Amino acid sequence: MSGDPLRLLAATSNRGKLVELRSLLADLPIEVRSLAEVLPTAPPVVEDGATFLDNALLKARAGVLRSAMVTLAEDSGLEVDVLGGRPGVYSARFAGEGATDAENNAALLAALEQVPDDRPRARFRCVMVLLDPRSGGEPIVTEGRCEGWISRQAKGTGGFGYDPLFVVGAYGRTMAELAEAEKNRVSHRGKAMLAMRASLEALIARRGAAEP
């Protein structure tokens, strides 16, 4: 049986997400490769799906087609109840195409200015898709959610995106105030990965058994 790790393409150009995925998979024999490493000249995937699942599938299928590697993709975002679920799939560009995290956070606070509730309910959602080019193209899909509310003041220096404004209900602190291990236990991405682990372990076992 080969002792080589499984080479896995993480179909994201978001550095924060890549760091989290590598941390979540650190205890498995997996070599996580980024889009920049594997497909540096490939054009970005147009994420025009109506749902997180739509976009995750678009990225996973493009990754497999372009690289012929096992590909893990995810799409995630923030849903605020009083905003009708916005920003949702537009989380990364809530303030416009190419918006920075700070600009998106400012746009979120501006959208909530007239909302009287000082703890508007919200959640982070993540839909994760695993595609193995040897499996016939059947995707494995998992989902994770983290419930909480929006703070009117940014707190913490960790994480990325809306983390400084999102208060995790289980902790009463923003996502940006959590240590890496705490965040991985409760985050939407951590939960989606936990649900995906059995499929990844089975894939590693199959690949190992098939190799001399």
Q: Is residue 50 part of a domain?
A: yes
Residue 27 lies in a domain: yes
Residue 133: the pLDDT is 93
Q: How is residue 177 annotated by DSSP? A: G
Q: Check pLDDT > 90 for residue 4.
A: no
Spatial CA neighbour of 3 closest among 26, 24, 31 = 31
Say if 205 falls within a structural domain. yes
Between strands 166-168 and 30-34, the pairing is unpaired
Average pLDDT over residues 2-22: 90
Which residue range forms the structural domain that includes residue 107? 6-210
First to last CA, the chain: 5
Overall pTM > 0.85: yes
Q: How many domains does the chain divide into?
A: 1
Q: Which residues are catalytic?
A: 75
Instruction: Look at residue 90 and tell me if it is in a domain.
Output: yes
pLDDT reading at 190 higher than 60: yes
% of the chain exceeding 70 in pLDDT? 97
CATH of the domain at 188: 3.90.950.10
Whether 1 is covered by a domain: the verdict is no
Spatial distance between the Cα atoms of 148 and 80, rounded to a whole number of angstroms: 10
Instruction: Tell me, yes or no, whether 129 lies in a domain.
Output: yes
Whether 40 is covered by a domain: the verdict is yes
Report helix, strand or coil for 208.
helix
Half-sphere exposure of 99 (CA within 13 A, CB side): 18
